[in-house]
């Protein structure tokens, strides 16, 4: 009796790019690396081509995102060579990498001679106040100039405002601090909060961690604000962006923002100061982060329009790219 051998059907053939989670062709780049005269050795590992493909894909995405922003500013539907050239000139890292590249049909970058720029007016000299020993410290918040760029209402009485300025000097009831589970003051927002709050703020966080332990993953926690012009600090464990699963990254960011809004309503907080969560060290693309955050807030305010306590949500930004993204996404809200 002959033994019957079962043959398993072969699955679909996956390319090296698909296995690596990339769009750029890994096999073609590996072939170019072996043929070219850039490297001394002709023996190339596949990992080298995967790494090079990932770097090229990342730079291309950043360049395309910046060029799209310049096309929106120019009110054009298509990205032209000039938009790519302006994107390179507006980013320091891309300018270092592509400073010798000539972009055809892109025009020139307008530059104003330094002699034609009027000198800045000298700011008045600061007078330092010497505090005596035993004298009670007065908490006077001196707000720097804030520029309101866009404004829109959602729900019944919630106002969304895009500002350019400093988070610390923005008037509000509670400020969001994107951090990790241990509530470490890192990043731009955390460093600014720690510089303003000092050791008193560090002591509050230390006691909170001793009493309740670290936050849960992608959780939120409210603590008292000391030394800064807010009543509370809303710490949130900002999720990391996964390049291989962008939909899951959007869902996790949406859940964190919903938890922040829900906690504000539970505590009756009316004025929320919100920086750009996720677009810093968490590697979220600025366009994706802004779209997810604004849509989450709009859906939440529409569902809880009669019960929400939030009156103002201020998006405090500092760089031109974030400002342009938030203004365009706020205008697209329906």
Q: Report how far residue 44's alpha carbon sits from residue 234's, in angstroms, rounded to the nearest whole number.
A: 49
The string of pLDDT tens digits covering residues 77-95 is 899 999 999 898 888 888 8
Position 176 pLDDT exceeds 70: yes
Contact call for residues 219 and 259 (beta carbons, < 8 A): yes
Q: Report how far residue 290's alpha carbon sits from residue 281's, in angstroms, rounded to the nearest whole number.
A: 15
Split at pLDDT 50, 70, 90, the class of 103 is: confident
Q: Report how far residue 207's alpha carbon sits from residue 199's, in angstroms, rounded to the nearest whole number.
A: 12
The string of pLDDT tens digits covering residues 116-136 is 667 766 555 554 444 444 433
User: Rounded to two decimals, what is the model's pTM?
Assistant: 0.57
Higher confidence at residue 102 or residue 6?
102
pLDDT value, residue 251: 93
Split at pLDDT 50, 70, 90, the class of 141 is: very low
pLDDT value, residue 136: 39
State the average pLDDT for the chain. Answer: 84
pLDDT value, residue 135: 38
Average pLDDT over residues 25-40: 86
First vs last C-alpha separation in the chain: 72
Closest CA to 331 of 301, 304, 294, 284: 294
Q: Report how far residue 270's alpha carbon sits from residue 258's, in angstroms, rounded to the nearest whole number.
A: 15
Most confident of 39-48, 105-114, 129-138, 201-210: 201-210
Longest pairwise C-alpha distance within the chain:
104
Average pLDDT over residues 39-57: 88
Question: Measured on CA atoms in the order 78, 81, 82, 85, is the torsion positive or negative?
Answer: positive
Domains defined for the chain, CATH in brackets: 20-98 (1.10.20.10), 148-332 (3.40.220.10)
C-alpha distances in Å from residue 22, one per residue of 25, 57, 60: 8, 8, 12
Contact call for residues 168 and 185 (beta carbons, < 8 A): no
Q: Report how far residue 332's alpha carbon sits from residue 253's, in angstroms, rounded to the nearest whole number.
A: 20
pLDDT value, residue 138: 39
Position 4 pLDDT exceeds 80: no
Contact call for residues 215 and 254 (beta carbons, < 8 A): no
Average pLDDT over residues 123-152: 53
∠ at Cα 298 (294, 301), nearest 5°?
135
Contact call for residues 213 and 156 (beta carbons, < 8 A): no
The string of pLDDT tens digits covering residues 292-325 is 999 999 999 989 888 999 999 999 988 888 888 9
Contact call for residues 270 and 214 (beta carbons, < 8 A): no
The string of pLDDT tens digits covering residues 226-274 is 888 899 999 999 899 888 888 999 999 999 999 999 999 999 999 999 9
pLDDT value, residue 11: 67
Question: For residue 313, what are the β-bridge partners?
Answer: 160, 272
Q: What is the 3-state secondary structure of the chain? A: CCCCCCCCCCCCCCCHHHHHCCCCCHHHHHHHHHHCCCCCCCCCCHHHHHHHHHHHHHHHHHHHHHHHHHHHHCCCCCCCHHHHHHHHHHCHHHHHHCCCCCCCCCCCCCCCCHHHCCCCCCCCCCCCCCCCCCCCCCCCCCCCCCEEEEEEEECCCEEEEEEECCCCCCCCCEEEEEECCCCCCCHHHHHHHHHHHHHHHHHHHHHHHHHHCCCCCCCEEEEECCCCCCCEEEEEECCCCCCCCHHHHHHHHHHHHHHHHHHHHHHCCCEEEECCCCCCCCCCCHHHHHHHHHHHHHHHHHHCCCCCCCCEEEEEECCHHHHHHHHHHHHHCC
Lowest mean pLDDT among 5-19, 30-44, 208-222: 5-19
Contact call for residues 163 and 315 (beta carbons, < 8 A): yes
């Amino acid at each position: 009796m002959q033994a019957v051998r079962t043959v398993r059907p072969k699955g679909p053939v996956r390319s090296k790019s698909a296995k690596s989670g990339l769009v750029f062709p890994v096999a073609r780049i590996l072939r170019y690396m072996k043929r070219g005269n850039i490297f001394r050795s002709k023996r190339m590992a596949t990992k080298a081509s995967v790494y090079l493909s990932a770097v090229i894909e990342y730079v291309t995405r950043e360049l395309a995102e910046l060029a799209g922003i310049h096309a929106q500013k120019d009110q054009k539907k298509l990205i032209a060579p000039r938009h790519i050239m302006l994107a390179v000139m507006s980013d320091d890292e891309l300018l270092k990498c592509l400073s010798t590249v000539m972009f055809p049909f892109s025009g020139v970058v307008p530059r104003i001679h330094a002699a034609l720029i009027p000198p800045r007016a000298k700011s008045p000299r600061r007078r330092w106040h010497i505090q005596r020993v035993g004298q009670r410290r007065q908490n006077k918040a001196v707000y720097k100039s804030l520029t309101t760029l866009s404004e829109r209402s959602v729900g019944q009485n919630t106002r969304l405002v895009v500002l350019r300025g400093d988070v610390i000097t923005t008037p509000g009831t509670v400020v969001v601090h994107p951090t990790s589970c241990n509530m470490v003051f890192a990043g731009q927002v955390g460093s600014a909060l720690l510089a303003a709050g000092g050791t008193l703020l560090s002591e509050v966080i230390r006691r909170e961690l001793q009493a309740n332990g670290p936050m849960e993953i992608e959780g939120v926690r409210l603590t008292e604000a000391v030394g800064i012009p807010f009543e509370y600090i809303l710490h949130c464990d900002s999720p990391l962006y996964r390049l291989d699963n962008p939909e899951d990254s959007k869902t996790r960011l949406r859940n964190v923002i919903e938890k922040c809004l829900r906690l504000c309503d539970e505590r009756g907080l009316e004025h929320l100061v919100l920086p750009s969560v996720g677009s810093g060290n968490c590697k979220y693309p600025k366009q994706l982060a802004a779209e997810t955050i604004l849509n989450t807030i709009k859906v939440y305010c529409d569902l809880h329009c009669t019960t929400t306590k939030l009156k103002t949500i201020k998006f405090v930004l500092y760089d031109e790219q974030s400002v342009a993204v938030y203004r365009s996404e706020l205008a697209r809200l329906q």
